[in-house]
Amino acid sequence: MNSVKRCRHSRTRGLPTLLAGALTLALTLTGGPATAAQQGTLHELAAAQGKYFGSATDNSELPDAAYTAVLGSEFGQITPGNSMKWDTTEPVQGQFNFAKGDVITDFAAQHGQSVRGHTLVWHSQLPSWVGALPPAEVEAAMTHHVTEEAAHYRGKVTAWDVVNEPFNEDGTFRTSPFHTAMGTDYIATALRAAHAADPDAELYLNDYNIEGLGAKSDAMYALVSELLDEGVPLDGVGMQAHLAVQYGFPYQMQANMQRFADLGLDVAVTELDVRMQLPADAAKIATQSTYYRQVVEACLAVERCVGITVWDYTDKYSWVPSTFPGQGAANLYEENLLPKPAYYAVRTALGGEGGPGEGGGPGALRAQYRSSDSSTGDNQIKPGLQLVNTGGTAVSLSDVTVRYWFTADNGASRYSTWCDWSPIGCSSVTHRVAALGTPKAGADHYLEVGFTGGSLAPGAATGEIQLRLNKSDWSNFDESDDYSHGTGTSYADASKITVYVGGEPVWGIEP
Ligand code: XIL
């Protein structure tokens, strides 16, 4: 049973790949700065390594067109966050409703994505009627549920989390109506029922805190070893990977994955996110990027790690803030759907731009900008700036300068410049205005930003640097024609802000 069927996961998609190729060419011809689009999507990068890269999603998120645009293009696999769970699919005994799950499989089909079914047997999000059954009736109810659901999605899901979260933290079996009624046999019974209903689906056991070596993963290892010995149909182990910056990285994740692989099982990272105590700061963001990168590296190093699914890709739809009060910022994209440093860390780890072995140095710095100033005609200019290191090596900030280009619009030629706030500390940020000998369109001056020290680790960002400048006579500017000026109010890559390392341009286009 646990034979090699991995290719269905890691297939590349024909037409989107061709379109991405055309897009790459267009961007190259216009000579813009390197962007994510030039290098293919996360899934394309993963697929080039024989893996998939996926995301959880949920029905309530699908009306959000900006969200689905990224979901449908960047990811090659999706997992329904809720709509295939028992409380949704069989809320009343014997009354099945697959409407919401069908919306998810339809989306996947339209976007050339595979689907992980999640989940058939779980103690949580279980309708109360199951727990109220006499124990003697639970096995029949469970088998019926598994059979109906797995049969319904036959051919539409490539893998099932058949049993979810069977263990307590100490490696003992978790109490549930299933365990109470059948003891640990419920797991083999559920796997056999799923296999009978959909012989082609890859069948997984899935749990959290089994990513590293430890008591809980030892328990999973013992369980799956026994199931395989007994000839129970089982293809893989799902490691949820709900990580947190404050709890450290799982102990020896790669070695742990490898021991399951050595049993002849596939391994999947099924629900990756990396939360932190809010507010976020530069150190937490850097740690988060490191954790995401380390998960990718572990999966790449283990041949039978088939892919990675993030538990939704954006902070906008994260389960974290409501489940872990005070925590958040766990995902690859922020709430406005802009990629965060962790996204670039994942790209780099997948072999994308700036990856190890490609230099990965200062050339991978990028400037992001937002306008903190809705008034383009007043006497101050207020750019918000952040630098992101998308490369594989640290960048020493004392070598870095940044230029924001603007026109003075007459008035005094002397300036005051300010750093109002930054998580890296304004005391480490230098700023001055310089005039151009030969004015350009949209620019006869620039604000130059530098740093007294510090360094930016691979995948790390400075966090925002709130800048401000005015003329000494406080006369007004007309910012609307300024070269570097933009109107976006959230951070986005800014090709008209230029970045230099040791005086050499590394990002952006000068006026
Ligand atoms: C979460 C969903 O994301 C939430 O929307 C829901 O309210 C609770 O469940 N482990 C799992 C997932 O296996 O099913 C959980 O999903 C997150 C933890």
Binding site membership of 240 for ligand 1 (Cβ less than 6 Å): yes
User: Which residue owns the Cα nearest ligand 1 atom 16?
Assistant: 81
User: Which residue owns the Cα nearest ligand 1 atom 13?
Assistant: 164
Domain boundaries, the chain: 42-360, 364-507
Instruction: Give me ligand 1 centre to Cα 302, in Å.
Output: 26
Instruction: Give me ligand 1 centre to Cα 325, in Å.
Output: 15
pLDDT per residue as tens digits for the range 357-395: 333 333 478 899 998 888 899 999 999 999 998 776 788
pLDDT of 431 strictly over 90? yes
Band (293; pLDDT cuts 50, 70, 90): very high
Number of neighbouring beta carbons within 10 Å of residue 392: 21
Give the burial string for 207-216 (b: 16+ CB within 10 Å, else e). Answer: bbbbbbbbeb
Q: Model pTM?
A: 0.71
pLDDT of 27 strictly over 50? no
Res 14: pLDDT: 36
Among 19-28, 35-44, 253-262, whose mean pLDDT is lowest? Answer: 19-28
Among 205-209, 280-284, 428-432, 505-509, whose mean pLDDT is lowest? Answer: 505-509
pLDDT of 509 strictly over 90? no
Instruction: Give me ligand 1 centre to Cα 319, in Å.
Output: 7
pLDDT of 319 strictly over 80? yes
Give residue 333's identity as a one-letter amino acid code.
Y
Tell me which of 344 and 20 has the higher pLDDT.
344
Binding site membership of 81 for ligand 1 (Cβ less than 6 Å): yes
Fold of 42-360: TIM Barrel (3.20.20)
pLDDT of 468 strictly over 50? yes
Binding site membership of 319 for ligand 1 (Cβ less than 6 Å): yes
Of all atoms in ligand 1, which is nearest to the CA of residue 311? 3
Binding site membership of 312 for ligand 1 (Cβ less than 6 Å): no
Band (355; pLDDT cuts 50, 70, 90): very low
* Residue 271 among the catalytic residues: yes
Helices marked H in 115-229: 128-132, 135-152, 177-182, 185-197, 215-229
Instruction: Give me ligand 1 centre to Cα 227, in Å.
Output: 26
Band (8; pLDDT cuts 50, 70, 90): very low
Binding site membership of 82 for ligand 1 (Cβ less than 6 Å): yes
Four-way CATH pick for 364-507: 3.40.50.1100, 3.30.230.10, 2.130.10.10, 2.60.40.710: 2.60.40.710
pLDDT of 10 strictly over 70? no
Pocket of ligand 1, candidates 82, 126, 269, 270: which has the most ligand atoms within 8 Å of its Cβ, to mutate?
82
pLDDT of 282 strictly over 90? no
Dist CA 377 CA 381 (whole Å): 9
Average pLDDT for residues 435-461, to the nearest whole number? 91
Average pLDDT for residues 276-294, to the nearest whole number? 93
Of all atoms in ligand 1, which is nearest to the CA of residue 270? 13
Number of neighbouring beta carbons within 10 Å of residue 31: 8
pLDDT per residue as tens digits for the range 116-160: 999 999 999 999 999 999 999 999 999 999 999 999 999 999 999
pLDDT of 38 strictly over 60? no
Of all atoms in ligand 1, which is nearest to the CA of residue 56? 3
Res 39: pLDDT: 61
Which 3 state secondary structure label does DSSP give 307?
A: strand
Band (236; pLDDT cuts 50, 70, 90): very high
Percent of the chain with pLDDT over 90: 77
**Contacts with 43 (C-beta within 8 Å, 6 or more apart), sequence order:** 52, 53, 54, 74, 75, 76, 77
Angle, in degrees to the nearest 10, between helices 282-301 and 341-349: 20
Binding site membership of 204 for ligand 1 (Cβ less than 6 Å): no
Instruction: Give me ligand 1 centre to Cα 85, in Å.
Output: 10
